């Protein structure tokens, strides 16, 4: 367990880097799935996905 502010900063930085790496990896996996299986989506599913992507998935 970190005991100093510097240790907390290092932990926070490492956690942020890990989150960024996992986010990028998930993004690539999603793109791969869409490339291989996207043709199976209905028009409604494509529209919904497009709307979600435009607003950042929120």
List, for residues 5-32, the tens digit of each pLDDT value. Answer: 999 999 999 999 999 999 999 999 999 9
Evaluate if residue 57 carries a pLDDT over 70. no
Reported confidence tier of residue 58, pLDDT bands at 50, 70, 90: low
pTM assigned to the model: 0.69
Tens digits of residue pLDDT in 41-54:
999 999 998 898 88
Please spell the DSSP secondary structure of the chain, one letter per residue. ---SHHHHHHHHHHHHHHHHHHHHHHHHHHHHHHHHHGGGS-HHHHHHHHHHHHTTT-
Q: Residues 13, 27, 29, CA angle at the centre, nearest 5°?
A: 125
| Cα distances (angstroms) measured from residue 25 to each of 14, 20, 28 | 17, 9, 5
Q: What confidence score (pLDDT) does residue 8 get?
A: 96
């Amino acid at each position: 367990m970190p005991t100093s502010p510097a240790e907390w900063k290092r932990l926070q930085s490492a956690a942020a880097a890990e989150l960024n790496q996992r986010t990028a990896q998930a993004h690539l996996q999603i793109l791969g799935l869409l490339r291989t299986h996207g043709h199976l989506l209905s028009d409604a599913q494509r529209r919904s996905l497009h709307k979600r992507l435009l607003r950042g998935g929120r």
